[in-house]
């Protein structure tokens, strides 16, 4: 009985862990195009400190982990831009790949940036991982992680 139950649970769980590759990974699918466009909109909002755009992009439960391991939430992310604690001179994205999992997606890529955070220069290049969920038909960022790239 335990083996049968374990097999049933495994059978039900594994398909939800496998990425949806039906045209929505890489660069071609509709979801991929939408998420890459959203990433570019997000970068533009960061450059111009557009808090209204950030409110549309970030879920209320958003969590950010920066290059230094510091975690922050949506409120803090908005505050560092509004207070000019974080300032971008340039910010461009490249090498993005999208992996979808139903109503969740992960975007990985590289950001090239110039700016300041707490009076210190930003790393020139970072690898990022952004996690999105689709809520009521709209993709929202729920988590981000960045690592400096030498």
In a domain, 5, yes or no: no
Round to whole Å and give the CA distance between 96 and 40.
11
Give residue 89's pLDDT: 97
Average confidence (pLDDT) over 87-91: 97
Average confidence (pLDDT) over 85-105: 97
Element (H, E) at 58: strand 58-65
Q: In which domain, by residue range, is 71 found? A: 20-148
112-124 pLDDT, tens per residue? 999 999 999 999 9
In a domain, 94, yes or no: yes
Checking if the pLDDT of 10 tops 50, the result is: no
Give residue 27's pLDDT: 55
Task: Provide the number of structural domains found in the chain.
Answer: 1
Joined together, the tokens standing for residue 73 give 């939430």
Checking if the pLDDT of 75 tops 80, the result is: yes
In a domain, 9, yes or no: no
Give residue 28's pLDDT: 63
Give residue 1's pLDDT: 44
In a domain, 36, yes or no: yes
In a domain, 58, yes or no: yes
Share of the chain above pLDDT 70, in %: 81
Residues 6 or more apart from 54 whose CB is under 8 A from it? 42, 45, 46, 74, 77, 78, 81
CATH number of 67's domain: 3.10.450.50
In a domain, 80, yes or no: yes
pTM for the whole structure: 0.81
Q: Is the dihedral of CA 50, 56, 60, 65 positive or negative?
A: negative
Torsion of CA 145, 108, 122, 91, to 10 degrees: -130
11-60 pLDDT, tens per residue? 333 333 334 443 345 556 999 999 999 999 999 999 999 999 999 999 99
Checking if the pLDDT of 94 tops 60, the result is: yes
Round to whole Å and give the CA distance between 40 and 16.
28
């Amino acid at each position: 009985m335990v083996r049968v139950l374990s097999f049933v649970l495994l059978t039900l769980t594994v398909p939800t862990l496998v990425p949806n590759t039906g045209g929505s990974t890489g660069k071609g699918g509709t979801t991929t195009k939408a998420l890459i466009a959203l990433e570019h909109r997000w970068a533009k909002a960061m450059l111009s400190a557009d808090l209204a755009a950030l409110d549309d992009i970030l879920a209320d439960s958003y969590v950010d982990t920066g290059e230094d391991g510091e975690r922050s939430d949506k409120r803090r992310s908005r505050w560092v831009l509004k207070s000019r604690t974080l300032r971008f001179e340039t910010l461009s994205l490249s090498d993005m790949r999208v992996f979808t999992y139903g109503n969740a997606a992960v975007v990985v890529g590289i950001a090239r940036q110039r700016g300041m955070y707490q009076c210190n220069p930003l790393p020139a290049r970072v690898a990022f991982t952004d996690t999105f969920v689709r809520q009521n038909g709209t993709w929202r960022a729920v988590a981000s992680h960045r690592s400096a790239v030498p």
